Amino acid sequence: MRGGALVLVRLALLAAVLLLWEGLPRSGIVNPMLLPPLSDVLDALVVILGRPDVHHALGITAAEVVVAFAIAVPLGTALGVLSAENEYFGEIFRPMLFYVFSIPKSIFLPMFILVFGIGFPQKVAYAAFSTVFIVIMSASAAVESVKAEHLLVARSYGATRQQILRRVYLPSMLPILLEALRISMIFNFTGVMIAEMYASRVGIGRLIADWGENFEMAKLLAGVILLAAAAMAFNEAVRSLEARCSTWRA
Amino acid sequence: MQYMAGVSGERAGAMKAAVDVRGLSHVYDGRDGAVPALQDIDLTVPAGRFVVIVGPSGCGKTSLLMMLAGLRLPTSGTILCDGRPIAKPDPARVGVVFQEASLYPWLTAVENVEFPLVLKRAPRAERRARAEAMLRLVGLDGFGARHPHELSGGMKQRVSIARGLVQDPPVLLMDEPFAALDEQTRMTMGHELLRIWSQTAKTVVFITHSLTEAVYLADEVLVMSARPGRILDRITIDLPRPRTYQMMATEEFGRLRERIWEQIRTTP
């Protein structure tokens, strides 16, 4: 299918879903208590976006997401590079990392509450913990993607260690690292949301959990739309950067 | 020395050794202890000479080349290049052309060629002009903006050759540069290499598995034994230059090729 036609079909599909979302509850085919019509949800979205407590919650959640990300990504990258580059460190830690990676991180959440209490540090610590393993894996895969012959060429032309890092390692690793950034944000955001919904006093996850418990479906879905938009915006931003940095990967 | 006709003959008249290897041996630590890889290699390559090294897989040809490039240190023996020892890579004296896939895929052709000059922090305009000139020399004028994945196998190796020559080193080392190419491209590239060689007056040490390629390109073919690699035979190729494809069909060509094959075949 040609690009233009493909976009049209996709838009038509989206329009159909939105129409059904509006029409099915209105006609009573779907219980509007469980799925309020789209227009009601959009009204609710406007209402919650005007509420100061929602602003406050969004601010807190955003801060948790940013801080957890800022801890998990550099830490995970450093550990990943170390485990790929340092044979000794790699042999010792890599199997352990693989085992821990396979465990669902949410089962550790009660421990984080015991250690950090309920609040900002607990959310950040848990989200960083649930993110750091995927960063370690990706960073070590990125290092391993650097080709031996590319390093040899640089050495044969007298490159210094620093030049090899900047001119061979970095460009080789960049596409994989950007992809890792995108995927780790998914883990990171999920981590913050789970921590907020499980136990917290503030944050947008808390509000969404409350709306669910109080059966305020329009607000709940408005919150979902809001977070989905934020997550997709970040994802697409990194993806466009990724595309620009990897045109050479044919 | 009458066989060294043409361009190479004039330079060889000076008989200054561009590469001089004395008593080189190499032992590396394998899984089952020390493995002798190279043994008592003596090698003198006069300036401007085209020397080809052939030998069975694993005979240490590539190790030898790595040492000539200063990328690996020998266990014993000396390597002089342009009269001075080689202890670490010195791209001003020795350029290296590797096997396929050694170009940086994220750089364009011209950026790949100027890479050694970037490492040297040469001024931008100067290095770009130099790289463009090298691309012209290898017949890739107008292809500078392409990335490696947009070039054919033969074109990629032309870029590699241009990169090897960009600092104008007197010695060019080539490690099976055409091994991954199809037969026709390989023949064309061999011919092109001889043209470039005759225009640049370099000393070339070239490694290959192909006996036809060896006889076609070389002033002298060195035959190496299986591990530990020793030099079994030195065969002077006295076919006139410039070489032509027609020479491959001559009796002389076949005799030289046969002699190399005999050496490789009959040595355990």
Residues A3 and A65 in one domain: no
Nearest to A156 among B71, B101, B150 (CB): B71
Q: How many CB pairs under 8 A join A and B?
A: 59
Q: How many CB atoms lie within 10 A of CB A97?
A: 18
The string of pLDDT tens digits covering residues A35-83 is: 999 999 999 999 999 999 999 999 999 999 999 999 999 999 999 988 8
- Which pLDDT value is given to residue A168? 94
CA B98 to chain A, closest CA, distance in angstroms equals: 8
Q: What is the CA radius of gyration of chain A?
A: 23
- Which pLDDT value is given to residue A125? 96
> By residue range, what is the domain housing residue A28?
1-33
DSSP secondary structure, chain A, as one string: --HHHHHHHHHHHHHHHHHHHHHHHHHTSS-TTTS--HHHHHHHHHHHHT-HHHHHHHHHHHHHHHHHHHHHHHHHHHHHHHHHH-HHHHHHHHHHHHHHHHS-GGGGHHHHHHHH-SSHHHHHHHHHHHHHHHHHHHHHHHHHTS-HHHHHHHHHTT--HHHHIIIIIHHHHHHHHHHHHHHHHHHHHHHHHHHHHHS-SSSHHHHHHHHHHTT-HHHHHHHHHHHHHHHHHHHHHHHHHHHHHTTT--
Residues A8 and A86 in one domain: no
Share of chain A above pLDDT 90, in %: 76
pLDDT category at A1 given cuts 50, 70, 90 is low
Residues A193 and A104 in one domain: yes
Residues A98 and A215 in one domain: yes
CA B69 to chain A, closest CA, distance in angstroms equals: 7
Residues A114 and A28 in one domain: no
CB contact under 8 A, B106 and A158: no
The string of pLDDT tens digits covering residues B48-57 is: 999 999 988 8
Measured between beta carbons, which residues in chain B are less than 8 angstroms from residue A159?
Answer: 119
Q: Residue A112: CB partners within 8 Å, gap ≥ 6?
A: A122, A125, A126, A129, A195
Residues A8 and A115 in one domain: no
Residue with token string 């036809």: B212
Residue A180 dihedral angles phi and psi, to the nearest 5° = -60, -40
Count Cβ atoms within 10 A of the Cβ of residue B9 and give its class: 0-12 exposed, 13-18 middle, 19 or more buried: middle
CA B220 to chain A, closest CA, distance in angstroms equals: 25
- Which pLDDT value is given to residue B14? 45
Residue A28 has pLDDT above 80, yes or no: yes
Torsion sign over Cα A190, A195, A196, A198: positive
A48 domain-assigned:
yes
Nearest to A155 among B89, B106, B148 (CB): B89
Chain B residue whose CA is closest to A164: B119
Chain A residue whose CA is closest to B117: A157
- Which pLDDT value is given to residue B2? 37
CA A244 to chain B, closest CA, distance in angstroms equals: 11
Q: Please give the average per-residue pLDDT across B180-188, as a whole number.
A: 91
A 122-181 near B (Cβ less than 8 A): 147, 149-150, 152-160, 163, 167-168, 171-172
Residues A144 and A83 in one domain: yes
Residue with token string 């100061």: A52
Q: How many CB atoms lie within 10 A of CB B159?
A: 28
A250 domain-assigned:
no
Of A240, A125, A123, A122, residue with least CA distance to A181: A240
Q: Please give the average per-residue pLDDT across B188-197, as a whole number.
A: 94
What average pLDDT is seen over chain A? 91
- Which pLDDT value is given to residue B48? 93
What average pLDDT is seen over chain B? 89
Residues A14 and A131 in one domain: no
The string of pLDDT tens digits covering residues A129-146 is: 999 999 999 999 999 889
Which residue of B106, B112, B150, B160 is the best one to mutate when testing the A interface, meaning the one whose CB has the most A CBs within 10 A? Answer: B106
The string of pLDDT tens digits covering residues B1-29 is: 333 343 444 444 445 688 999 999 999 88
CB contact under 8 A, A250 and B99: no
Q: Please give the average per-residue pLDDT across B173-181, as a whole number.
A: 93
Give B65-71 contacts, CB < 8 A, sequence gap 24+: B65/B96, B65/B173, B65/B175, B65/B205, B65/B207, B67/B24, B67/B26, B68/B19, B68/B21, B68/B94, B68/B171, B68/B173, B68/B205, B69/A156, B69/B94, B69/B96, B69/B173, B70/A156, B70/B94, B71/A152, B71/A155, B71/A156, B71/B96
A186 domain-assigned:
yes
Which residue of A157, A170, A247 is the best one to mutate when testing the B interface, meaning the one whose CB has the most B CBs within 10 A? Answer: A157
Residue B261 has pLDDT above 50, yes or no: yes
In chain B, domain spans: 6-93+170-266, 102-168
A4 domain-assigned:
yes
Residues comprising chain B, all counted: 268
Distance CA B197, CA B199 (A): 5
- Which pLDDT value is given to residue B11? 43
> Which CATH superfamily does the domain covering B6-93+170-266 fall into?
P-loop containing nucleotide triphosphate hydrolases (3.40.50.300)
Residue with token string 């034994």: B225
Q: What's the domain count of chain A?
A: 2
Residue B267 has pLDDT above 90, yes or no: no
Residues A171 and A236 in one domain: yes
Residues A21 and A107 in one domain: no
The string of pLDDT tens digits covering residues A189-227 is: 999 999 999 988 889 999 999 999 999 999 999 999 999
Q: Please give the average per-residue pLDDT across B39-45, as a whole number.
A: 92
* Predicted complex ipTM exceeds 0.90: no
CA A250 to chain B, closest CA, distance in angstroms equals: 6
Residues A181 and A76 in one domain: yes
Distance CA B219, CA B237 (A): 5
pLDDT category at A249 given cuts 50, 70, 90 is low
A142 domain-assigned:
yes
Q: Please give the average per-residue pLDDT across A16-21, as a whole number.
A: 95
Nearest to B98 among A153, A160, A168 (CB): A153
Q: Does A14 touch chain B (CB under 8 A)?
A: no
Which residue of A152, A156, A164, A242 is the best one to mutate when testing the B interface, meaning the one whose CB has the most B CBs within 10 A? Answer: A156
Q: Residue B86: CB partners within 8 Å, gap ≥ 6?
A: B67, B68, B69, B70, B79, B80, B93, B94
CB contact under 8 A, A248 and B148: yes
- Which pLDDT value is given to residue B122? 93
CB contact under 8 A, A155 and B98: no
Q: Residue A11: CB partners within 8 Å, gap ≥ 6?
A: none
